[in-house]
């Protein structure tokens, strides 16, 4: 007998299961999703990879205002990144380029993008796409390893079947009716009358959108849900029994309706070599107040495109980023599986995290002062103390980008012989990913061979690797100053007669500073004129802004080496630290001796990729063999406006795909493709 | 005795050598990550002179927020405003050392009362004092802000031979981005705002205000802003 029970939302038969809805829950706070638009997916080493990243709020799909840093890595089938970099996000968007290093051997690699916050969840939820890389001198390839297994190939029908076959409880979902979704619950358990209360949880985009008590009578129940409350994308439907144990789960894909759309118009399909192409991009079905942030690529179609099957922004954000193959959503929902957020959201800057351990026994070094500095013409220290696991954390703003940061353990004078520095490299560490091998078809082999030849020609006309997009130090960012304020006085040794070593300098031109040694032991003492006291002989010495304990080296510096000396003649309080006078020495070379750094510091190269201009067709008097005819990561269309772009075709006869991807201010991922041919 | 002194000096010097370059920290264990990421206050060790009469300070030691000139806010620090030096003093709770903070780095600070309500809000601004040739940065307490804003410069009069200090408050009006020093009196207010003479007279008469008292002066400016300049904001 089939008895259908339709429950009203207001019915209360008991306490529904408790789920994490707090902000700090990592699963529900799987609050960001990433999509990366690449200019192309097949590369020869030495070529540029242009990217535009969209980081959106997982629930609203609007541009994320949370994370300010995004991480990228190219991972091979050995599951270790072969190349990684990071970029700064501005309102959820960033663009840039990297040059594929020639150290990467040929294969299919996974390009992955994520934020630090997303690291609390499985790497399956990150942005993942396959890219093909071959070396310029690699010929006669018959197969490529590293093809990501199936993730991007999952079809909608597979998804529905994937998690439906639970033992005794079956969820049948009907979505064909307009306006409603019908959920039929069936069970073969006859004797459930003693505890008939169940709960149905509907979850979408990382948030519970409905909790419903369900009474199963005679093995059946029916629930009707209005489609209005369900956003487009994956809907998790989970049935819990009265003991809060999940008994059935089903995922369905709710396709988007009334979505804004993009239209690409070209004057014709076929063009000649070095022909001018005009493309019109039109935004339809939007409000007048809507804005769309778009990126456009016009790239050569390759035989690998169908194999890599890289998803567009809509299917990526609505479909693939919501599923983790082989895992149930309830695993992450249930109470006892909750976990604290280990990785902090980087909303105010980059978090440099790491651990310090004793080399001998790998025990953590606890409650030790870690100082971060860099060689510069100002002293700008940061410090923190290691916690019970030996971990330390520094929050770094963009001022620290692309600097060599110097980390030092201060208390105890622990040299690097006794200490191991473990820096969190922010790798995704996805060990679950499975890879397969791709046997190359004759078309694929031919394409790679042809690509290599073109690269060789390009290299002849553009000898040497292209300039990397990492500048030495970002100029023009100000706001940082000496952590200890203005010095009591500054001395420029060049204003005086030449002095051979620092002792002579201190005796002759540094009033109130005593620099002495007893054998190999040096000390600096500073007289506090204001309070008329001699402070303890423990004045701090900074060399080019970096704390330096190697006073023997300082003693060897004379007028020829030192540009400026700042003297602080009182007790300087900085946070919880006290400095009994500071002697800040700046040398002409601005460097810290390498031997000192090797022994007493850890260098962290704080590299960040900055936006890099696309050369386009500004190629004069050279053969033009561009695979990417056009790349524009920063197109913005407001309201019902159109955008028109123009570019010139190269001398490569091929079919090209015009791909426009983007996100609207209303939180709609939009995409459109079109094709042209160069004959 | 001589040998004893020499021995002590040797011991001290040896220790000094061994301990050279150490940092001294009175650390709070398990500093929260948020606190770890907060910008650190810095200043020079400072001991205020004691006076026979009066206090150099405005209010008592209290929790406060310091807004730095780079926009960062350092919260929940023990601070006190020194009226004699026109400087902000910070008390480090871990060792009860006090430091004079560098004025250049501070934009504003807010002192909280015991019930955690804001007690006083000071801003740093540049004004020209009558006895100086050039303008200088001073901390002014915000009394009311609007089309016409009222600030107080909390300073002191020092009688040096008696080592005595007496309170002295100087009031400034800010209008059209210019500061005007005013006397806290009916006449002083009229002179500072001649264009609003009639309105001020009405406000003072209607509300029975005695602008010599600070609360009444604040109320007079507030009412003037509300009744005559509300459309300008």
Report the distance separating Cα A678 and Cα A655, nearest Å: 6
Supply the pLDDT for residue A247.
80
Report the distance separating Cα A411 and Cα B218, nearest Å: 54
Region A228-253: mean pLDDT is: 82
Give the long-range contacts of residues B122-130, CB within 8 A, separation 24 or more.
B122/B81, B122/B88, B123/B151, B125/B151, B125/B179, B127/B153, B127/B172, B127/B179, B130/B181
Contact A521 B18 (CB under 8 A): yes
| Residue A117: partners with Cβ closer than 8 Å, 6 or more residues away | A29, A31, A32, A66, A67, A341, A343, A344, A345, A346
Q: Does the pLDDT at position A68 exceed 90?
A: yes
Report the distance separating Cα B93 and Cα B86, nearest Å: 22
* Neighbour count for residue A628 (Cβ, 10 Å): 22
| Distances in whole angstroms, Cα of residue A44 to Cα of each of A455, A458, A459 | 7, 11, 11
Q: How far is A486 from chain B (nearest CA, A)?
A: 8
- Do A240 and A246 meet the contact criterion of CB atoms below 8 Å apart? yes
* CA-based nearest residue to A481, from A548, A381, A356, A347: A381
Q: Does the pLDDT at position A666 exceed 50?
A: yes
| Residue A610: partners with Cβ closer than 8 Å, 6 or more residues away | A87, A88, A96, A401, A402, A469, A470, A471, A474
Contacts of B102 in chain A (CB under 8 A): 485-486
A166 pLDDT tier (thresholds 50, 70, 90): very low
Q: Give the SS3 label for residue A111.
A: strand
The two three-digit tokens of residue B201, written as one number: 């007279």
Contact B105 A485 (CB under 8 A): yes
Q: Is the model's pTM score more than 0.90?
A: no
To which H or E segment does residue A71 belong?
A: strand A69-75
Supply the pLDDT for residue A196.
61
Per-position pLDDT tens, chain B of length 233: 556 565 555 444 444 433 333 333 333 333 455 667 888 899 999 887 777 777 888 989 999 999 998 888 999 999 999 998 999 999 999 999 999 999 989 999 999 999 999 999 999 999 887 777 788 899 999 999 999 999 999 998 888 777 788 888 999 999 888 898 998 888 998 998 999 899 999 999 999 999 899 999 999 999 999 888 876 55
Nearest residue of A to residue B77 by CA position? A575
Report the distance separating Cα B80 and Cα B61, nearest Å: 5
DSSP code of residue A239:
E
Q: How far is A638 from chain B (nearest CA, A)?
A: 31
Residue whose tokens read 């009994």? A580
3-state helix, strand, coil in chain B (%, to 5): 30, 40, 30
DSSP-derived secondary structure for A618-658: ---SS----SEEEEEEEEEEETT-EEEEEEE--S--SEEEE
Supply the pLDDT for residue A328.
64
Contact A344 B33 (CB under 8 A): yes
Supply the pLDDT for residue B165.
84
| Distances in whole angstroms, Cα of residue A438 to Cα of each of A93, A139, A304, A430 | 33, 16, 10, 21
- Do A251 and A162 meet the contact criterion of CB atoms below 8 Å apart? yes
Tell me the torsion sign for CA atoms A25, A26, A30, A32: positive
Backbone angles phi, psi at A267, to 5 degrees: -65, -40
Poorest-confidence range of A156-160, A490-494, A540-544?
A156-160
Supply the pLDDT for residue B12.
45
- Do A438 and A307 meet the contact criterion of CB atoms below 8 Å apart? yes
Supply the pLDDT for residue A177.
77
Supply the pLDDT for residue A326.
63
* CA-based nearest residue to B22, from A224, A267, A547: A547
Q: Give the SS3 label for residue A134.
A: strand
Nearest residue of A to residue B36 by CA position? A384
Q: Does the pLDDT at position A298 exceed 60?
A: yes
Tell me the torsion sign for CA atoms A151, A153, A156, A157: negative
Q: Does the pLDDT at position A465 exceed 70?
A: no
- Do A19 and A244 meet the contact criterion of CB atoms below 8 Å apart? no
- Do A93 and A64 meet the contact criterion of CB atoms below 8 Å apart? no
The ipTM (two decimal places) reads 0.80
- Mean pLDDT of all residues in chain A? 82
Q: Give the SS3 label for residue A388.
A: coil
Residue whose tokens read 């150099």? B56
* More confident site: A162 or A288: A288
Looking at the DSSP bridge assignments, the partners of residue A236 are: A203, A251
DSSP code of residue A104:
S
Backbone angles phi, psi at A502, to 5 degrees: -70, -30
In this complex, the residue of B17, B27, B41 whose CB is nearest that of residue A521 is: B17
- Do B101 and B90 meet the contact criterion of CB atoms below 8 Å apart? yes
Exposed, middle or buried by CB within 10 Å (0-12, 13-18, 19+), for A479? Answer: exposed
Supply the pLDDT for residue A596.
84
Q: Give the SS3 label for residue A505.
A: helix
Region A415-427: mean pLDDT is: 86
Q: Does the pLDDT at position A95 exceed 60?
A: yes
Tell me the torsion sign for CA atoms A534, A539, A542, A543: positive
Spacing of C-alpha B162 from chain mean position:
25
Contacts of B40 in chain A (CB under 8 A): 383, 483, 574-575
Name, of A13-22, A58-67, A530-539, the range with top average pLDDT: A58-67
Poorest-confidence range of A294-303, A467-476, A548-557, B82-91?
A467-476
Q: What is the CA radius of gyration of chain A?
A: 31
Contact B105 A538 (CB under 8 A): no
Q: Does the pLDDT at position A285 exceed 90?
A: no
- C-alpha triplet A306, A310, A312: angle, nearest 5°: 120
Tell me the torsion sign for CA atoms B19, B20, B21, B24: positive
Q: Does the pLDDT at position A218 exceed 90?
A: no
Q: Are strands A42-44 and A127-134 parallel, antiparallel or unpaired?
A: parallel
**Residues of B within an 8 Å Cβ radius of A:** 13-14, 16-31, 33, 36-37, 40-45, 47, 70, 90, 92, 94-95, 97, 99, 102, 104-105
Q: Give the SS3 label for residue B115.
A: coil
In this complex, the residue of B31, B37, B102 whose CB is nearest that of residue A486 is: B102
Q: Where are the alpha helices (DSSP H) in chain B?
A: 2-19, 33-37, 186-192, 197-207, 214-228
Supply the pLDDT for residue A398.
87
Q: Does the pLDDT at position A93 exceed 90?
A: yes
* More confident site: A236 or B125: B125
Residue from B21, B77, B98, B107 whose CB has the most chain A CBs within 10 Å, to mutate? B21
* Neighbour count for residue A583 (Cβ, 10 Å): 26
Contact B20 A521 (CB under 8 A): yes
Phi/psi-derived region of residue B202, left when phi > 0, alpha when psi is between -120 and 50, beta in every other case: alpha
Report the distance separating Cα A384 and Cα A572, nearest Å: 17
In a 13 Å sphere around the CA of B151, the CA atoms on its Cβ side amount to 24
A619 pLDDT tier (thresholds 50, 70, 90): low
Exposed, middle or buried by CB within 10 Å (0-12, 13-18, 19+), for B24? Answer: middle
Contacts of A572 in chain B (CB under 8 A): 42-45
Supply the pLDDT for residue B20.
38
Supply the pLDDT for residue A294.
95
The two three-digit tokens of residue A94, written as one number: 């960033």
* More confident site: A314 or B33: A314
* CA-based nearest residue to B213, from B184, B178, B183, B175: B184
Exposed, middle or buried by CB within 10 Å (0-12, 13-18, 19+), for A37? Answer: buried
Contact B45 A570 (CB under 8 A): yes
- Do A264 and A672 meet the contact criterion of CB atoms below 8 Å apart? yes
Report percent pLDDT > 70 for chain A.
83
Tell me the per-residue pLDDT of A115-149, one tens digit each, with 9 for 90 and over.
Answer: 988 887 777 788 989 999 988 777 667 777 777 76
* More confident site: A456 or A155: A456
Scored b (16 or more CB within 10 A) or e, B95-120 reads: eebbbbbbbebbbbbbbbeeeeeebb
- Do A628 and A253 meet the contact criterion of CB atoms below 8 Å apart? no
């Amino acid at each position: 007998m089939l008895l259908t029970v339709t429950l009203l939302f207001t019915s209360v038969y008991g306490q529904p299961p408790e789920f994490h809805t707090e902000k700090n829950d990592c699963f529900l706070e799987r609050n960001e999703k990433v999509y990366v638009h690449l200019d192309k997916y097949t590369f020869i080493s030495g070529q540029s990879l242009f990217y535009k990243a969209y980081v959106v709020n997982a629930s609203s799909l609007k541009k994320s205002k949370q994370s300010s840093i995004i991480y990228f890595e190219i991972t091979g089938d050995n599951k270790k990144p072969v190349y990684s970099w990071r970029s700064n996000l501005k309102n959820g968007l960033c663009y840039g380029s990297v040059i594929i290093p020639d150290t990467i051997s040929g294969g299919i690699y996974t390009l992955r993008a994520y934020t630090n916050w997303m690291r609390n969840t499985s790497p399956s939820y990150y942005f993942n796409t396959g890219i093909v890389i071959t070396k310029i001198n690699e010929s006669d390839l018959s197969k490529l390893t590293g093809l990501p297994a199936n993730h991007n190939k999952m079809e909608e029908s597979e998804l529905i079947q994937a998690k439906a076959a639970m033992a005794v409880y079956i969820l049948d979902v009907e979505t064909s009716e307009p306006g409603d979704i019908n959920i039929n619950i069936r069970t073969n358990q006859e004797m459930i009358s003693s505890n008939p209360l169940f709960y149905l949880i509907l979850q979408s985009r990382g948030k519970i959108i409905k909790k419903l008590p369900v009474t199963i009578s005679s093995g059946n129940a029916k629930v009707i849900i209005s489609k209005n409350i369900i956003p487009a994308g994956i809907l998790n439907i989970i049935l819990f029994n009265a003991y809060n144990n999940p008994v059935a789960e089903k995922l369905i894909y709710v396709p988007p309706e009334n979505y804004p759309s993009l239209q690409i118009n070209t004057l014709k399909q076929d063009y000649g070599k070095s022909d001018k192409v005009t493309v019109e991009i039109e935004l339809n079905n939007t409000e007048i107040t809507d804005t769309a942030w778009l990126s456009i690529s016009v790239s050569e179609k390759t035989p690998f495109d169908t194999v890599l099957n890289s998803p567009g922004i809509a299917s990526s954000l609505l479909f693939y980023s919501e599923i983790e193959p082989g895992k149930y959503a309830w695993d992450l929902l249930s109470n006892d599986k909750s976990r604290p957020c280990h990785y902090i959201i980087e909303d105010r800057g980059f978090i440099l995290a790491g651990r310090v351990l004793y080399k001998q026994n790998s025990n953590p070094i606890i409650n030790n002062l870690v100082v971060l500095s860099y060689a510069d013409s100002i002293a700008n220290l940061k410090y923190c103390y290691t916690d019970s696991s030996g971990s330390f954390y520094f929050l770094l703003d963009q001022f620290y980008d692309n600097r060599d940061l110097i980390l030092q353990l201060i208390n105890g004078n622990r040299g690097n012989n006794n200490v191991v520095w473990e820096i969190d490299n922010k790798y995704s560490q996805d060990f679950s990913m499975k890879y397969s091998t791709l046997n190359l078809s004759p078309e694929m082999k031919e394409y790679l061979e042809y690509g290599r030849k073109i690269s060789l020609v390009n290299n002849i006309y553009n000898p040497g690797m292209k300039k990397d997009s990492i500048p030495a130090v970002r100029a023009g960012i100000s706001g940082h100053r000496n952590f200890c304020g203005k010095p009591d006085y500054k001395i420029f040794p060049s204003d005086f007669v030449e002095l051979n070593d620092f002792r002579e300098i201190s005796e002759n031109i540094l009033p109130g500073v005593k620099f002495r040694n007893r054998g190999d032991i040096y000390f600096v003492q500073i007289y506090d004129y204001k309070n008329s006291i001699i402070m303890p002989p423990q004045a701090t010495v900074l060399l080019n802004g970096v704390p330096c304990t190697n006073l023997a080296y300082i003693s060897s510096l004379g007028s020829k080496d030192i540009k400026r000396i700042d003297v602080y003649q009182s007790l300087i309080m900085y946070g919880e630290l006290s400095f009994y006078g500071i002697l800040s020495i700046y040398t002409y070379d601005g460097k810290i001796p390498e031997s000192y750094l090797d022994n007493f510091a850890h260098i962290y190269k704080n590299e960040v990729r900055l936006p890099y201009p696309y050369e386009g067709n500004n190629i004069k008097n050279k053969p033009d063999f561009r695979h990417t005819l056009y790349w524009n990561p920063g197109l913005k269309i407001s309201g019902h406006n159109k955008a028109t772009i123009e570019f010139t075709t190269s001398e490569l006869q091929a079919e090209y795909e015009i791909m426009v991807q983007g996100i609207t201010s209303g939180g709609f991922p939009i995409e459109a493709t079109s094709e042209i041919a160069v004959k | 005795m001589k040998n004893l002194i020499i021995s002590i000096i040797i011991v001290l010097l040896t220790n000094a050598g061994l301990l050279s370059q150490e940092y001294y920290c009175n650390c709070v264990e398990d500093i929260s990550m948020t606190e770890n990421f907060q910008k650190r206050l810095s200043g020079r060790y400072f001991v205020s002179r004691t006076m026979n009469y009066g206090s150099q300070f405005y209010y008592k030691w209290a929790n406060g927020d310091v807004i730095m000139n780079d926009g960062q806010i350092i919260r929940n620090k023990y601070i006190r405003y020194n009226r004699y030096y026109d400087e902000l003093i910070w008390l480090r709770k871990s060792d009860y050392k006090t430091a004079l903070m560098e004025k250049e780095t501070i934009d504003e600070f807010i002192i909280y009362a015991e019930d955690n309500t804001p007690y006083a809000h000071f801003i740093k601004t540049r004004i020209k004092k009558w006895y100086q040739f050039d303008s200088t940065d001073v901390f002014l307490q915000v009394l009311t802000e609007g089309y016409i804003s009222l600030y107080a410069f909390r300073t002191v009069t020092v009688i040096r031979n008696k080592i005595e200090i007496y309170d002295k408050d100087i009031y400034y009006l800010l209008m059209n981005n210019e500061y005007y020093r005013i006397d806290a009196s009916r006449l002083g207010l009229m002179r500072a705002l001649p264009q609003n003479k009639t309105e001020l007279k009405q406000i003072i008469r209607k509300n029975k205000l005695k602008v010599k008292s600070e609360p009444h002066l604040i109320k007079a400016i507030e009412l003037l802003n509300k009744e005559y300049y509300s459309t300008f904001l």
